[in-house]
Structure 1
Amino acid sequence: MYMCCWITMGIDSKSRTKDCSWLAFYLVLLLFGKQALAQIRYSIPEEVPEGTVVGNVAKDLGLDITSLIARRFRVVSGSKDAIFEVNQNNGALYVDKHIDREELCQGSGACLMELKILIETPLEIHYVLVEITDVNDHSPSFPEREQIFEIAEQTLPGRRFQLHTARDPDAGINSIRTYTLTSNEHFELNIRQSDAGKIPFLVLKKSLDREQKNKHTLLVTAVDGGKPQRSGTLNVSIIVLDSNDNRPIFSQEIYQIVIQEHVALGTSVFRMNATDLDEGTNGEVEYSLGKTVRRKVYDMFELDKLTGEITVKGVVDYEENDAYELDVEASDRGTPPLAGECRVIIKIKDVNDNPPEIEVTSLSSTVSEDSKPGTVISLISVTDKDSGVNGKIISQISNDAPFELKPSYKENTYSVVTKGVLDREKVSHYEITIKATDCGEPPLSTVKTLSIQISDVNDNSPHFQQAPLEFYLVENNVPGRSIFSVSAKDDDLSENAAISYHIVREGIQNDIMSFLNVNSENGHISALKSFDFETLKTFQF
């Protein structure tokens, strides 16, 4: 142990004299104490076990150890809890109670305790200074276990944030020497020296991005200079505050969806979903249709600005419009707001809701019966507003008639032609039924009827119902009177069926014309003379 003797002065029995002046000097010392007594200085670490010897006061003062008990050698303390005591047997100063330097002395200066050593008969007072040296028995500690900072993500690098300062009751080298920070890419530690000690600062060295990481957890460690070192930690949480630095983003630039035509009003056809990495109002998204969208789109579809749901507002008809393009904008509620865009293409799926249509572009309503097979009597075109299989058409003549459809050079265009010999005398009029059927499910059909009149040609000769004919007449008939009437028929029509009668002259019978006459219009035969049975019994013509 360290011991320093500044003054070694004392009065023992061997130096006594009967000199009155010395006695007077002794009384002055007794009255005025410190000015003349010896002072010894010892040094001892704190936290030593009770009973540890600080030093031998009696020896250092030059006292007779054998007389210490008799002279009541002791420590005089004004405190009830005396830390040090002396051993009257050997004169040693020892630790009587636990020593805590931080309780006895505060600060980093020397911790000195002044002890009064009292010896009686003769009376002596000695002052002993005991320096309590520090040991590293305390770890640095922070006033709080955690410190939270809220830092906006747009904060520029270089910004400083003061951390809690750690405290260490130990002094000198055992006090706080430095601070350390866990390794990270955004912050570094800066320490400022002040009268109060070392003050740590958190310094932003790289900009924060809340969307990449919204919270950073760091550990600040205060380390003292003792051996072994002691340390204390502070949990530092950095909450990154959002700024409106992200615009809403759709997962696709173009969405394509398909809906059926005539879908019910109010049907939801699609739900938009734009994401904004910001938070709070900066991340709240509202939807709207772009300003370039055609007016028809507004009439057909409705967009919920909060949910992004697209619903049917009007009657969707494939035949009217087979696709719609919607430019959708998603905007956040930041200041200023940021927006993202996408396009939604809604394709209309055709349903078989339209029957085929048959249009007669040319028609000869009257056809001559002598027309050759393949004669064109009409041109028709078949259309269907539906598409795909719903618009594919099968056309045919559905009734039994001597006509057929011949495809034309253009799709779904046909010629109605004769396919056999016509005979007006058998059938003079035809109702041609043309049926067009699409291939939808279920199929839809349309029927068109063409009315065709067969015109007559003179293809039939007049004919008598009976040939030859025989008749009798009475002789002595009256000349000029009708004696017989013939009647012929002709299957033709109108002028082709108009019959004219006449008697055919055949060789030797030419003289028959001299006594017979036929009415060309009605076939009545009259005799031009009176016949005589005895002269002419029979004749023919």
Structure 2
Amino acid sequence: MLASGPGGQGTKHLLLSVLLLAALEAESGQVRYSVPEEAKHGTFVGRIAQDLGLELVELVPRLFRVASIGHGDLLEVNLQNGILFVNSRIDREELCGRTLECSIHLEVIVDRPLQVFHVEVEVKDINDNPPVFPASRKKLFISETTALDSHFSLEGASDADIGANALLTYRLSPNEYFSLEVPTNDDQVKPLQLVLKKPLDREVASELLLVLKATDGGKPELTGTTELHITVLDVNDNAPVFDKAVDRVKLLENSRNGTLVIKLNASDLDEGSNSHILYSFATDVSSNTEDFFHIDSASGEIKVNGKIDFEETKLWKLQIEAVDKGNPPMFGHCTVLIEILDINDNVPELLVTSLSLSVPEDATLGTVIALISVTDRDSGANGQVTCSLAPQGPFKLVSTFKNYYSLVLDSALDRESVANYALVVTARDGGSPSLSATASVSVEVADVNDNAPAFAQPEYTVFVKENNPPGCHIFTVSARDADAQENALVSYSLVERRVGERALSSYVSVHAESGKVYALQPLDHEELELLQFQVSARDAGVPPLGSNVTLQVFVLDENDNAPALLPLPGARGGGGALSEPVSRAVGAGHVVAKVRAVDADSGYNAWLSYELQPAAGGARSPFRVALYTGEISTTRALDEADAPRQRLLVLVKDHGEPALTATATVLLSLVESGQAPRPSSRVLAGGAGAGAGAGAALVDVNVYLIVAICAVSSLLVLTLLLSTALRCSAPPSEGACGPGKPTLVCSSAVGSWSYSQQRRQRVCSGEGPPKADLMAFSPSVPPASGSGDSGEQQIFRNEVSTVILECI
């Protein structure tokens, strides 16, 4: 609210002018207001929100704020009604001195989106400072012989206000001797003159007391006074006279002490001591003049005596007196105007206001990062400042107003490449040599979720032995996310699918944080040889990003299945025993029966061997069993001494560690040749053998089988050698001569076998379900336990180096 009282009507008119001016400035793009100095707290300045086109309801959500360098508490905005008001005392003289134009520059900042407005508030002068004379009393010594119209210089009053408020008029108290001569406005450098209008007579009036009154042009007007104490002197009737009434000189600021400013010269028409002149500063000059200048009383030289600063005082006005040694002394006066020349002695000052602590890496181009203001106390080219940014990078400086800049985003950011920028803003003035100042700006790039978790390779191969304990750890997956904090926090999960009739999650699980993969139940090689599934890695960003990796889990076989005997349809006998008649006329090497067995395991664990258990009582049996075929044949010709009923126990054993076994009982009935049944190609399992004809047929079949196996094996070995040679001669790649997928190789005393993901062969012994393994036997076949080696076994050892069997 406006204060009532004297001048209230004028204040209302002034406020109306302020509002009209603010409306015109808003239309031109910059809002301007004005406010009288010394306005009370709460004085209305302008509807700043309305003039800037902002809605009142969005001031608080958009973080409406006002910033002003050095004057932040003078003006304030009511966020409820958007009115700019006076917050604390504004003294125009303290703020701007005697500068004609005095303004407070405000920066209005709102966020979401960021907008910056510039508001100028002009501070209007009011008549709050009365005229002030340098001294409240001045003494003058005037000879009674002084001629009429003689002039005596007086120091005028000063007024801290400006314009009409500082326009002074002078009035001398009524008297019959003196009048006052006031210089015109066009000749302000001339002093006030006290003019003698009537001859003085010391005998009539030896002292005169006059009052000089100064009145300014303000409303209401203010006044100041000084007393003139005039002593009328006798005799010495010629005062010293200077060559010039006003001397003008120029002086560089920061001139060293002792620098000569000017040498004054005054003359006196008298003779003797009445013409001997002494120089001094007038008694009514400013008290601090002698802190900066010194005058030699004898020579009249004025020299620098302190620090001369253009920024403090641009013009010095010195009143000089020349007094002779007459009795009474006579005085002469002159004025010395010293213009101070600016030199570039002030470094620019930078003020950086950061609008945010960090900038998201997906920020749009043109985003304002910080506000920069620069000032230089020098003038002219010395005070003209330009700003530059180093390094350029993705940022640039944009000039928004005189000596105001915005640091804005000029190109895209990538936190994964550069997470923090250390920028240096340099302000350089136009002086010669120029001066500069720097300010550091640190810009932190905030992460956004723009990188998905990545695995080191697209798939992993894992080997796990069957019959593992439930919940055992089989592998650990790990994915790296290039983002930071929550965006880089990776969690793992299974990509669910069906494995046969069951869900994948019933076989394995993955720990969400560590990526450890666990087998939830014992795995069975005979049921599941390969378990292939995917694990998903997903970050905690919004929205989350993810990727998958494939795991191939090979279940390795263990020897957990004992050999199983295969019953032969139509075989005679019961209770696990097989009974067959054998003619006594058969010769040595005749195959009389064959034991068949299979093993559900694979590799060495499924490789079976047959042994004939020694007969009871240590009697040597006329039969033997082939180590790897299970064929029972005669070791010699049968005779009458052989028992008519032969009971054979055949031990079937695999090659696992430890080995598992099964026992087959074969009952053979020795009959005369006429009673022997007709030879048959039937092979016995768990009972007696067949006749001599069947044995011969089996021998022929075995010979052809071995020949065929040898031919196929040779062809396969040759193909493998050629393929290996071609791969080794080619550039390195994944294959035989380069890194490939893991291969497990096992060996034992009877040979070696390999399990490979790339190559899988079916291996079996006898009849039964096929095995998905590749088995390679070394040529050093151990001798079979029993009554000796057959001819076929000897050929097998000597001629076959490697046998690869495939069961179809």
The CA distance in 2 between the partners of 1:272 and 1:68, in whole Å, is: 111
What secondary structure is seen at the aligned counterpart in 2 of 1:298?
Answer: helix
- Residue 138 of structure 1, aligned match among 346, 349, 354: 346
Identify the residue that residue 380 of structure 1 maps to in structure 2. 595
The CA distance in 1 between the partners of 2:560 and 2:666, in whole Å, is: 26
What secondary structure is seen at the aligned counterpart in 2 of 1:435?
Answer: strand
Identify the residue that residue 251 of structure 2 maps to in structure 1. 44
Residues 1:275 and 1:115: Cα distance change in structure 2 (over 3 Å): same
Paired residue type of 1:433: L
Note the C-alpha offset of 1:79.
2.7
What secondary structure is seen at the aligned counterpart in 2 of 1:165?
Answer: strand
Aligned residues: 428
The CA distance in 2 between the partners of 1:457 and 1:24, in whole Å, is: 176
The CA distance in 1 between the partners of 2:275 and 2:638, in whole Å, is: 167
Note the C-alpha offset of 1:404.
4.0
Identify the residue that residue 496 of structure 1 maps to in structure 2. none
- Residue 298 of structure 2, aligned match among 67, 74, 89: 89
The CA distance in 1 between the partners of 2:368 and 2:355, in whole Å, is: 15
Structure ID, larger Rg: 1
1:453-480 per-position Cα deviation (integer Å, ceiling 9, x unaligned): 3345669xxxxxxxxxxxxxxxxxxxxx
Note the C-alpha offset of 1:160.
3.1
Residue range with higher mean Cα deviation, 360-369 or 142-151? 142-151
Note the C-alpha offset of 1:438.
2.2
Identify the residue that residue 623 of structure 2 maps to in structure 1. 403
The CA distance in 2 between the partners of 1:395 and 1:202, in whole Å, is: 90
Residues 1:35 and 1:333: Cα distance change in structure 2 (over 3 Å): same
Paired residue type of 1:172: G
1:131-164 per-position Cα deviation (integer Å, ceiling 9, x unaligned): 2222222222334699985111001223233343
Note the C-alpha offset of 1:30.
7.8
1:471-522 per-position Cα deviation (integer Å, ceiling 9, x unaligned): xxxxxxxxxxxxxxxxxxxxxxxxxxxxxxxxxxxxxxxxxxxxxxxxxxxx
Residues 1:264 and 1:443: Cα distance change in structure 2 (over 3 Å): same
What's the TM-score, normalizing by structure 1?
0.70
The CA distance in 2 between the partners of 1:79 and 1:143, in whole Å, is: 37
Residue range with higher mean Cα deviation, 266-275 or 119-128? 119-128
- Residue 307 of structure 1, aligned match among 494, 499, 514: 514
Residues 1:23 and 1:349: Cα distance change in structure 2 (over 3 Å): closer
Identify the residue that residue 251 of structure 1 maps to in structure 2. 456
In angstroms, what is the RMSD of aligned CA positions? 3.4
Q: Where do 5+ consecutive residues of structure 2 fail to align?
A: 1-143, 154-176, 184-189, 195-244, 324-328, 573-578, 615-619, 676-808
- Where relative contact order (Cα < 8 A, 6+ residues apart) is larger, the structure is 1
Give yes or no for contact 1:293–1:325 (8 Å, CA) kept in 2: no
Identify the residue that residue 95 of structure 2 maps to in structure 1. none
- Residue 101 of structure 1, aligned match among 310, 318, 333: 310
1:222-250 per-position Cα deviation (integer Å, ceiling 9, x unaligned): 11222222211111111000111111111
Give yes or no for contact 1:147–1:236 (8 Å, CA) kept in 2: no
Note the C-alpha offset of 1:71.
4.8
1:20-169 superposed matches below 5 A? 20-21=148-149, 27-28=178-179, 34-35=191-192, 38-56=245-263, 58-59=264-265, 63=267, 70-75=277-282, 76-80=284-288, 82=290, 83-102=292-311, 104-105=312-313, 111-120=314-323, 121-143=329-351, 149-169=357-377
What secondary structure is seen at the aligned counterpart in 2 of 1:116?
Answer: strand
Residue range with higher mean Cα deviation, 316-325 or 183-192? 183-192
Q: Is residue 392 of structure 1 aligned with residue 599 of structure 2?
A: no
Note the C-alpha offset of 1:270.
1.5
- Residue 669 of structure 2, aligned match among 440, 453, 463: 453
Identify the residue that residue 319 of structure 1 maps to in structure 2. 526
Give yes or no for contact 1:292–1:327 (8 Å, CA) kept in 2: no
Paired residue type of 1:434: V
Give yes or no for contact 1:140–1:167 (8 Å, CA) kept in 2: yes
Identify the residue that residue 405 of structure 2 maps to in structure 1. 200
The CA distance in 2 between the partners of 1:230 and 1:17, in whole Å, is: 61
The CA distance in 1 between the partners of 2:316 and 2:444, in whole Å, is: 50
Residues 1:68 and 1:180: Cα distance change in structure 2 (over 3 Å): farther
Give yes or no for contact 1:39–1:126 (8 Å, CA) kept in 2: yes
Identify the residue that residue 478 of structure 1 maps to in structure 2. none
What's the TM-score, normalizing by structure 2?
0.48
1:221-300 superposed matches below 5 A? 221-292=426-497, 294=499, 295-300=502-507
Give yes or no for contact 1:262–1:315 (8 Å, CA) kept in 2: yes
Give yes or no for contact 1:360–1:379 (8 Å, CA) kept in 2: no
What secondary structure is seen at the aligned counterpart in 2 of 1:20?
Answer: coil
Residues 1:432 and 1:42: Cα distance change in structure 2 (over 3 Å): same
What secondary structure is seen at the aligned counterpart in 1 of 2:374?
Answer: coil
Note the C-alpha offset of 1:347.
1.6
- Residue 398 of structure 2, aligned match among 187, 190, 200: 190
What secondary structure is seen at the aligned counterpart in 2 of 1:73?
Answer: strand
Residues 1:395 and 1:18: Cα distance change in structure 2 (over 3 Å): closer
Residues 1:458 and 1:292: Cα distance change in structure 2 (over 3 Å): closer
The CA distance in 2 between the partners of 1:277 and 1:86, in whole Å, is: 77
The CA distance in 1 between the partners of 2:557 and 2:274, in whole Å, is: 128
The CA distance in 1 between the partners of 2:149 and 2:339, in whole Å, is: 37
Q: Is residue 210 of structure 1 aligned with residue 415 of structure 2?
A: yes
Q: Where do 5+ consecutive residues of structure 1 fail to align?
A: 1-15, 106-110, 460-541
